[in-house]
Structure 1
Amino acid sequence: MEKNNSNKTGDPTLFTRENKTAAQNLEVVEVLAGNNGKQKFLTLVEFKLSMKITVSAIKADIGGIGGHTRPSDRLVQTVKDFVIKNGKGILIDSYIGYTGDDIHIVMTHTLGTDNKEIHKLAWEAFTEGTKIAKEQGLYGAGQDLLKDSFSGNVKGMGPGVAEIEMEERPSEVFCVFAADKTEPGAYNFPFWRMFVDARSNTGLIINEELAEGVIFRIMDVMSGKIADLKLWNDKPELEAALMYPGRFVVHSVLTHQREQIVSCSTDRLHNIAGTYVGKDDPIAIVRTQKNFPATEEAGSAFNDPHIVAGNTRGSHHMPFMPVALNSAASLNYSIPIVSCLLFSMHNGKLTGPHDGFGTADWEYQRRLASERATVLRVQGFIHPATLVPDELEYNKGYEARMAKLNEKFK
């Protein structure tokens, strides 16, 4: 870190918004103030009060061993090495793992959401990983990278993104839920259980902040429009939206004072590519404890596995199975899966992840999911085992069959 020798205040280190987290050991720091780039001096106490931390979770499917199973160890290591090397001076901390064949990059920094440098770092890490995937002949190499070059933000380019900028609490804790073989609407029901259903979450009764109700920010993925639905007045309209997870998805959840609790990726790959290129495999960040849901209240919203869209060829309804960290996708018709990464954070530094779905009791939930999957597969290709035509129409094979069928109707 270079010193600014022109200072008149004991030669403090110059900190920009990008690297000011290194100021923790100084009594006086100089930061760039606002967008005009002018410097001002802050005491360490003032500095800490002014600093917001951003958690960014970005994921992509860039190749799997023998099909849509899991990335190779070399592929994961390549992405990790790239982020560590090129994130210096940008990131405070990071973690790289996978769920099924999707690699997720969890990053902490002070650059805010939708930051070009952060998104470019993730895009280039996935691009570098794709080279290894192609070299190894992995299936679906670079599958989720739907554009040829980075344009400033990975949203709308294939990777899934969830981000929250926050004023860090003394004990900041959050979960990252990373899914594979399903769509963003898979989180609709668990989020309803967390924030609406007192049967699932007693905290909605006994926690004063949660009892006040939250704001669900719902996206219509066909139009891209957003609606803010406030509990408890908008409960019927919220549930009307959540009942169709292929169209309306949870974008974020905020307290009634508009402090963000949840961020969820919402991109539908077929809306970007115009055809089926794989399921969207959403990722979400959920802050927990104190005035937010307890960590166990958030996690238990994924027990008693519900039915979601996805599965093999993205064309079926199957249960949403909670799995351990870094689990491969199943060959049992590729049951949709979700893992839970638990983090503690202080000054942007991460401790964890702890495997939220790794304890023995979750084995029972996995067995339930397997049993429900077997029941659905008995139905074969007949709806409701398969998706509705509106969802299947993005699959070119289905489109061709229907075109041929329609020719035969007279």
Structure 2
Amino acid sequence: MVKEKVTVSVIKADVGSVVGHSRPHPSMMQAAKKILTEKQKQGVLEDFYVTRVGDDINLFMTHYKGENNKEIHGAAWDCFQEATKIAKSMKLYAAGQDILTDAFSGNVKGAGPGSAEMTFEERGSEPMLFFMADKTEPSAYSPILSRIYLDPFTTTGLVVDARAKKGFDVEIHDVLDHKKVVMSSPEETLNILALLGDTSRYAIKRVSSRAGIGPACVVSTDKLNMTAGKYVGKDDPVCICRSQSGLPSVGEYTQPFLMTSWIAGGWMRGSHYGTFYPCSPEDSDPTYFDGPPRICCLGFQLNNGKLQGLEPLNTKGGDHIPVDFFGNPTFDSARANAIKTSKFLRTQGPFTPSILPAEEMEYTSRPEVIKELKSRFESVDEKPVKSVTKKKKDVE
């Protein structure tokens, strides 16, 4: 008998915040929870959880309807529409920022909200991690996921776990040209890294097991400024990961955040480099220079299509208590390093490497400045440098 495949979807959006880009109002979160509770009663959803990182509302949803399903995406759309109404009534900052269209067309792709979804056959034990980032871009996950899936000095399972040793297929998206390529590790590891090194263009979308386990992780790669044609906010990606038994362990997923300060582009006006600050959702409000970029990691077990956290068995209506992996003192040193590195980058002021290169900045006044100065630029009359050839001296 073939088991029915479950789909895990995370759809997120920034639709308004209290005091700049800090956090959504609790009533917005409650409105989303109310809508999804009704959808669960109607049988649209198997289970759900509403959370946030910084000013982004994140909706975790499980179901058996497959990816890009109209009912699932429609449920998320309804949540964001209702939250936007509340934000506008309160005159909150950037109300409805990530809603780029007036009507729902069956899928949130291209409409503003970001999404990550994976469909798989549930294993006997299915530990899952949900990473949520704020004030950054989709490619921010690429260096970290490269460490996790390509580096045995991070993931010992690549050496000692027979199934993990078979490697992974890495789907990489060209976010500028809207193309994708699938490459395999370990055979193409160096070429994968060569491509991903250009974080302005290439980003990991999906990683799949080559041992028949199915998808290992999926990332939202939606680029808001490309969809809207102008700067409307950061992309703030989410990443869903399955772990253990042929896949990286929970500890192998979290170790990179403790060992390294990861520099990511996108905080403060979407125009600066900062360092990932691993924290709890409750500590994800940007407090320094609209940042630094926050990242949270919440864990759930999947139990017959339902989310199981630290709450009693068979809890309904999204009242879950996830395991908060970054919200503990273990990551105090990582947080301190993130602030230290971010402060150093800020000492460079409005110069690279504090700010992003011009072609990567979400918005900049430089084109207007150049246009204004066009008539004042003059040709530089440089005299050619004469080459001087010295005769070789007679050494006799």
Specify if TM > 0.5.
yes
> Could you tell me how far 1:51 is from its partner in structure 2?
1.2
The one-letter code matched in structure 1 to 2:70 is K
**Mapping of 1:18-57 within 5 angstroms?**
46=1, 49-57=2-10
> Counterpart amino acid of 2:179?
K
1:340 aligns with 2:297: yes
Cα shift at 1:113: 0.7
Contact 2:358 2:364 in 1 (8 A): no
Secondary structure (helix, strand or coil) at the match of 1:326 reads: helix
Q: Identity of counterpart residues, as a percentage? A: 39
TM-score of the superposed pair, with normalisation by structure 1: 0.86
**For residue 270 of structure 2, what is the aligned residue in structure 1?**
314
Which of 328, 342, 352 in structure 1 is aligned with 2:284? 328
Contact 1:195/1:210 (<8 A) preserved: no
Q: Pick from 16, 22, 35 the counterpart of residue 63 of structure 1.
A: 16
Distance 1:407 1:195, change over 3 A: farther
Task: Find 2:342's aligned residue among 368, 373, 395.
Answer: 373
Deviation, 1:206, is 1.0
1:244 matched residue in structure 2: 198
Q: 3-state DSSP class of the match of 2:300?
A: strand
> How many angstroms apart in 1 are the aligned matches of 2:27 and 2:82?
12
Displacement after TM superposition at 1:406 (Å): 4.1
Is residue 126 of structure 1 aligned with residue 84 of structure 2? no
Mapped partners of 1:53, 1:73: distance in 2 = 30
Partner of 2:208: 254
2:227 maps to 272
Contact 1:177 1:338 (C-alpha < 8 Å) held by counterparts: yes
- CA positional deviation for 1:400: 2.4
Specify the code of the residue in structure 2 equivalent to 1:148: D
Q: Deviations for 1:345-388, whole angstroms, at most 9, x for unmatched residues? A: 11111112110101211111111100001111111111011101
Q: Which deviates more, 117-126 or 199-208? A: 199-208
> Which structure 2 segments of 5+ residues have no match?
310-321, 379-396
Larger radius of gyration: 2
- Residue 329 of structure 1 aligns to a residue whose secondary structure is coil
CA distance in structure 2 between the partners assigned to 1:401 and 1:380 by the alignment? 19
Matched with 2:249 is 294
Q: Equivalent residues in 2 for 1:172-251 (5 A)?
A: 172-251=126-205
Runs of 5+ in structure 1 lacking a partner?
1-45
Q: 1-side partners of 2:24 and 2:370: how far apart?
A: 35
Deviation, 1:396, is 5.1
Q: Is the 8 A contact 2:49 2:59 kept in 1?
A: yes
For the pair 1:387 / 2:386, whether they are aligned, the reply is no
Tell me the equivalent position of 1:403: 371
The answer on whether the counterparts of 2:284 and 2:295 sit within 8 Å (CA) in structure 1 is no
1:406–1:239 Cα change, 3 Å: farther
The residue that corresponds to 2:122 in the other structure is 168
- After the TM superposition, list the runs of 4 or more consecutive aligned residues in structure 1 that deviate by more than 3 angstroms: 396-399, 405-408
Letter of the 1:204 counterpart: L
The 3-state SS of whatever aligns with 1:344 is strand
Gap change, CA 1:145 and 1:398, over 3 Å in 2: farther
Q: CA deviation at 1:71?
A: 0.5
Indicate whether 1:85 and 2:38 are aligned. yes
Q: Residue type of the partner of 1:369?
A: A
- Measure, in 2, the Cα distance between the counterparts of 1:273 and 1:99: 23
Q: In structure 2, do the counterparts of structure 1 residues 148 and 294 end up closer, same or farther at CA, with 3 Å as the change threshold?
A: same
Match of 2:324 among 355, 372, 392: 355
Give the alignment's Cα RMSD to 1 decimal.
1.3
The equivalent of 2:385 in structure 1 is none
Deviation at 1:209, TM superposition (A): 1.6
What amino acid is the match of 2:336? R
- The alignment covers a number of residue pairs equal to 362
